[in-house]
Amino acid sequence: MDKRTFLAAVAAASAAPAMAAPASPRRGPALLTVTGALPKANRGKLDPVADQMMLKHKLSFDKAWAFDFAALTALPATKIEPMLEYDAKPHALTGPLLADVLKAAGVTMTDTTRITLRAVDGYAAAITGAEARAKRFIVATHLDGAPMALGGLGPLWALYDPGKVPEMAARPVKERFGGCPWALYHIEVA
């Protein structure tokens, strides 16, 4: 066990000894952290030393569900092929439905569930459970068959295919992705 895994396990155990063990332990670093109205958790509260970006984004939580790349790619994948604003060409994006990610974290998503999607640069988009389902939001892990790199659009991107959503399809391509943060790292549910 490496030092980071050991320290994370110790912090989680000491922060929430009554929490159930995660369904499957993370093998890699957390790429996505879900906080808020969670009935279960696989990590403890915000650590002001280890969670610097979350601290700078003024986040606070007592428990969370963290996903590594393997956990996200183990969920059923959905493929969409939207035309992207960056080159006005269609691209294949794959990843689990946002609803499935939240379900894996123990969230019972209703139409009125409030979901905040946050990117590493602090950009946040707020949607409802109804919107997540209707637009078929995914947490994309792959672009054109390859994992997305940090520093580009990834490693995760919350988005949908605006060409399949009537009210978005009529908009210019540059205006279709305002509610779709790339470099997604945090989801808050309420």
Q: What pLDDT score was predicted for residue 169?
A: 87
**Token pair 């892990």 is at which residue?**
141
Closest residue by Cα to residue 80 from 102, 99, 97: 97
Tell me how many domains the chain contains.
Answer: 1
Confidence of residue 26 (pLDDT cuts 50, 70, 90): low
**CATH code where residue 75 lies:** 3.90.420
Residue that wins the pLDDT comparison between 186 and 85: 186
Instruction: Let me know if 136 is exposed, middle or buried by CB neighbors in 10 A (0-12, 13-18, 19+).
Output: middle
Q: How confident is the model at residue 25 (pLDDT cuts 50, 70, 90)?
A: low
More confident residue, 182 or 7: 182
Domain that holds residue 88: 3-189
Nearest CA to 132 out of 156, 113, 119 is that of 113
pLDDT at 172 over 80: yes
pLDDT-derived band at 5 (thresholds 50, 70, 90) equals: very low
Q: At 138, which helix (H) or strand (E)? A: strand 138-140
- pTM of structure: 0.85
